[in-house]
Structure 1
Amino acid sequence: MIICIFVILQFLAIPAAWAQAANEPKDFPFTQFDVSDYSSFHFRGSSIAHGALQVTPDSENLELTNKSGRITYKRPYRLWSSDIDDVVASFNTHFVINIFRNNEWEAGEGLAFVIAPDYEVPENSYGQWLGLTNDTTDGDTENKMVAIEFDTKKQDFDPDNDHIGLNINTIKSKKNVSLNGLGIDLAPHPDKVTNYSVWIQYDGKTKAMEVFMAATSGSTNVEKPVEPILNDTINLKDYVKEESYFGFSASTGNPDIQLNCVWQWNLEVEVLPVKKDRTWLKIVIGVGVPGIVLLGLICVMLGLIYKKKRKRAIDEESLVLGTLKSLPGIPREFRYKDLKKATNNFHESMKLGQGGFGVVYRGVLHEKDGGQHGASTASTTASTTEIAVKRFSRDNVKGQDDFFAELTIIHRLRHKHLVRLLGWSHEKGKLLLVYEFMPNGSLEKHLYDSSNPNTLHWSHRCKILTGVASALHYLHNEYDQKVVHRDLKASNILLDSHYNARLGDFGLARVLDNERNSYAELELGGVPGTMGYVAPECFHTGKATPESDVYGFGAVVLEVISGRSPGVRIHHEQQHYSLVDWVWMLHREGRIQEAVDKRLQNDYNFDEANRLLLLGLACSHPIDSERPQTPAIYQILSGTLPAPHVRPFKPVFTWPSMVSTFSTSDTTLFNITSSTSS
């Protein structure tokens, strides 16, 4: 019995030990930052780049105006006790900041060290609001926010451009100090780039808040000044939540912009005592120690498992968001609730198509276009935009891989014949990509949809093929990295209002990098793609190349001209042919024109049809090195090169084609001169 009582006493001491462990920083100090630190923070409109916390978008982003961001440490700290009167935690923090602007920028708006109830950024908190509040919430006592601002843009209530201030639930400082007479220029001219070390000390007993600053160079340690620049008295218990987050908030305006960087950060927070209640000890002993101990251990185990899973999910989402927001040129982030509303809660009637990676919905986005920061909402105007929203079918780790693969490929691609990415959303494990809406749908719909009574005109078909060839040439040769699409087919070719082709669905696309271009990367059984469009060597090598994309393009050419699917067998004279074998048979017998879609009713150009059918056969050559490359394809389509010479009998796929794929380096492989003659 004595042993049991000892066990239960130890068990009752566990919560106190947990409380103490919960306030012990595991990651501080941060002397520099890199991608491995993403799991240590919550990011909103911010990222890690160039070795620093980028509280607002960094220089690699295209849009820097009217932005706000927040970065907080991954967990909250207990700052006061509801059990013990007038007990507030002391804390010390030291960080190094750099506020940068180039010659063309006027500095604005500011950076702040913040103690907040959560890590979310208020809507419309750009400009003068410093990512802390907005014109609706500013001054609200429910903000539960205290901040030290480093302001670089004068407002009516500020002393000047460069000042620091103590803010409580509002951007109007309770106390501020001008820096003009102290030799401190927060956002200096580019040829005078300066980092500043900042120390903030708070004494939980005296309630004194003190802020010290000193210029520093890079990571060189400097002495803390003897006298604080700003000091004031504030009882944090009156203004912040019992458990609050520490971090940084910042904003830019329009046209005033700057880069808000934090290079180093250390934080120490006092661990508060826990008030003990001995009543529970008597109750536990009275009802039976062994049962309580067993129940307690079970609860502890379940709690630890739940906490571990929840932490992993939060860390994974923080890593995802941080990685996304650090991508150069990344488009805007949409709110999940806005996309849900735009698609009528992803209603079946809004569905545009479905593939192996997700479902695409039509959406109507209603947004308000506001004016400058601080402007009244009465001055906003509404705009309506049609969009296509791709909702990934797998919201797990594998689904995130698919999401990343498509986003990291397409977010920097810029070509008039590629579907343009408008933005993305990643909230609560839901993965969404937002594309521009194509009013004429897919090429597949126009070729086979029985509800569409009008067939594609000949001129439309030629224009579509020329557009797809142009997009493919860009991916293979003009973009700064070689990209293989790997899923070229009619359903992935979309048409705008003028029947211009837009190549889309980059779910299987990959950048060719150090031979990492195999289908096995996707961890899918077999070779992904649609029968009839996949090059024969892919079934042997498991690799995708620009040449396999050309094979898929050849299948599309034959499909567009004939109006027949490459995946459907054709019955002809008591035999069954694939589309390419059927066209090759007609070519051998000198009647290739019979392959032209009968729905055109001879309303087409004979010479163009002949040239395109021969081009389709040349691209469908079983040996990859014999297929034309995209520059030649584009010239044949435009008529500047003659139709390729195609042998009357279809060649047989041979093993050396596979060997060359394995043994040839990327550089050599992509520069093979394609033959268009026998």
Structure 2
Amino acid sequence: MRVRSTAAGGGGLLFLFFTTAQLLTGTAAGGSDPINFSFPYFSPSNRSAFNISTNAGGISEIEKALQITPDTSNVAAYLLSKSGRIVLSQPFRLWDGAAGGTTRRVASFNTSFDINIARSDNATLTPGEGFAFIIVPDPGDPPAGSDGGYLGLTNSSLDGQASNRLVAIEFDDVKQPYDPDGDHVGLDINSVRSNVTSSLAQAGIDISPVSAVNYTVWINYDGAAKQILVRMAKGGKPIPETAVLTSNIDLSEYVSEKSYFGFSAATGAADYQRNSVLAWNLTVENLGDGGGAGSSSGWKVAAGAAVGAVVLVVAVVAAAVWWAKKRRKEEAAVAGPRALEGKLRSLPGMPREFEYKELKKATNNFDEKMKLGQGGFGVVYMGMLPAPEGEEVAVAVKRFSREDKANNQDDFLKELTVINRLRHKNLVRLLGWCHSNGVLLLVYDYMPNGSLDHHLYGVLSGDGGSRPILPWNRRTQILTGVASALHYLHHEYDECVVHRDIKSSNIMLDADFNALLGDFGLARVLDAGNTSYIELEIAGVPGTMGYIAPECFHAGKATRESDVFAFGAVVLEVVAGRRPRSSDLPGDFHLLADWVWDLHCNGLILDAVDQALEGEYAGEDARRLLLLGLACSHPLPAERPKTAAILRIISGSVPPPEVPEVKPAFRWPPAFHAGDEESSGLLGGGERSLSTSALLYATYFRNMRVDDVATV
């Protein structure tokens, strides 16, 4: 974007990016989880998380969106010649280490945000300046004179100065002689004059059409490769395979070590537009508080010079011994992997087989910066794979990582055997697999909105800052999706599949917040004629505390009913905004279901609804879902509803289930209804002794911790 005269007018919205360290409370890269922010919805309660410009030229606000420029149809003069800025109030550390040094690290980040750029109600008016994503060194107000073409970033005297320490990705909707067209994206460094530009018209994008359109922008920066990718699509559409802009840039050369993320915009003297940010997701690599070249690095060099010869000899000998052992192990294991690959290729409905080098490159050699999460059987990384059009598509790559190779292969084969033919819109889709040199990988669709638990419990920072509110309509939408997936697994697929680990962290959310059930590491297919599954090789009870049905501690078996119990825990969790087991529940309750049951007994069940919703929910729907959650959490498996009934209850096509006022007592062995096929399989060969089950059940309560979400 080049500077436009105020006579030309215009307005714009910029997504500000400023670097920080205070939020990065972990250790150095590779040892800390990334910092995650998610604002699927904005409300005035989010104000404490942001710094909002208030100077004479600035006019920004937070209502149901981040309103960077005035959002009103009142007197036009009020909308003209304004600049505004909204930024996160905490900084991030985007690089550390000496300039030009080999130890300098640059943080990677991924972000996506929904924006709406609207013209005035008078459709004949010219649109304003556009929208941009930037990095700025402080959370202060935009500089004086930054209205019009300066977009709240610089002014006539500051533009182009290296001391600005800013980098921007602009989305401009006004054509100048040096612009490719009226709608383009550009990379700006310390100036509103773009260093690199690319046309958006070729992608069919009109930033500010006469009838306003919501757009989603995805920006990915690779701190190791020093490359930035920008994608853009209409709201609700999946992430495009083709980037609208790709450029190499070392951010550490231009931005301050500690900077801030946010948005900025401006309007002109004649033309204006209303710029709103509707939702925002952000993940930043955690560089911690240390790092860089310093006395520690100097000491390492000196020590290396002093003992270099000795170290070299020892290293050569050790390497030779290690290599010989490695070769013997590999030769002894050749038959095993070949047999496994034969099994994999013979499975019906198998997806694509990836080459290891493809996935290694896609994940930057399984870099910690690309890590999305970790479970009991492996680590999941984000990857970027080439698409047919020559660009890239985001995927999730699961790398199995149990130390015992035999168990590792067993885990891999079991998960792949279960999911290779599953096809449902609410199940995370398997794209392919890879088995090479003992490395076992599965490739899934990437879910841009992460997991449900992050949206329910994610906080802005370690100091307990306000979290974004997951609105009521999205909560009901999520529960409907999970119920649909569960019904498919239990009854619609040609074999019955029990998931065994249904929980909020295994419910993934796509770009539209549709729920997709994932992580089939514990899932198993029930053989014909069986109604339960027992796995003796796993010590303890498979699953996650808080979601495990009480009968599982006695029988050690998974059934449809135990899956329904876990779903009930999720229902209560989503409505109440509380974990299934917690020390923060009112009174002496440790289980969410017990607390809700007590409220139900006293006619106060709606008191369980998440207070963060501030009354913005449908009362009858909330009551229906809470009663459904209690029905699914019934201590007796035969009393829990089937998935077909669950779907009807959630939709409101049938009344909510009748639930006893007082929680029934658990009995073992349970009493089943005559002819109940789905429950009768709980008993039979292989059940645990009562002494063993009593020990497991006691351990369950004794080990309660709010932060315990590990698989047993």
TM-score, normalised to structure 2, is 0.48
Q: Larger Cα Rg: Structure 1 or Structure 2?
A: 1
More helix by percentage: 1
Higher RCO (C-alpha 8 Å, min separation 6): 2
